[in-house]
Amino acid sequence: MSTLTFASWNVNGVRAVAKKGFYEWLDKHKPDIVGIQETKISADQLVPDISAPRGYVSYWSHAEKRGYSGVALFVREKPLSISEGIGSPKFDKEGRTLVADYGDFVLLNIYYPNGKASEDRLSFKLGFYDAFLTYAQKLRKQGKKLIICGDFNTAHKEIDLDSPKRNVNISGFLPSERAWMDKFVSKGYIDTFREVDANPKNYTWWHVMTGARARNVGWRIDYFFVGDELKHNLNHAGIQHDILGSDHCPVTLTLNF
């Protein structure tokens, strides 16, 4: 039996987090596969210090809009195949998805849209959710075992944010967003952290301007989900609350194969 370790982190700008210890964290913890979101970098801005950390191969998906969105994967072992997007130009032009097929599993690293800016962006977010789920279900029908990581930009349950009643009308905790999370889980996707830890006060994002992190007034919006066919492979899932550098912190997953 082999053990694989995974990490996922919304870095809120890879060039910024590179100056705040990201690559030192990577070198210390050495996950087998790391997905990062909100890289905010274009292809022509990649330099070896960012794109080629020691011991890893990197893959990048960039938004058409400069300084916006973007995801990347750092892997110790190359996948059988790597692809971008979920098959919809409307969504894929924002560089939100990388899909790595390892045979034993397929990893989807995704930066889901934020719906706070406007009703249009909320509609875009919900449309992305549905297009993603259609894509994921298609992969499962092909016999693929899925691991999905990233910033979902939604706290699913009341336990997943500090002040649920105060935020019920805020995007990220709207009934429509939470209903989609319910639907997602009902299709056989497992929130790995909640499989191992049912305690409150476990968050992955904190508002910077209000000093919320020091008071642990946060939201849990970063996840590792697996299809239920991988439930028995679950070894551990965690949140690295103490890792700084972004307004989010890393989340982790360990699977046995």
Report the catalytic residues: 151
Give the integer Cα–Cα distance in Å for 12 and 193: 22
Kindly state the tokens that stand for 178: 């939470």
Residue type, 62: H
First to last CA, the chain: 6
Residue 189: its H or E element? strand 189-191
| Integer CA distances (angstroms), 68 to 18, 39, 88, 141, in order | 17, 8, 18, 33
Shortest CA distance to 75 belongs to which of 9, 146, 162, 5?
A: 5
- Residue 105: burial class (beta carbons within 10 Å; 0-12, 13-18, 19+): buried
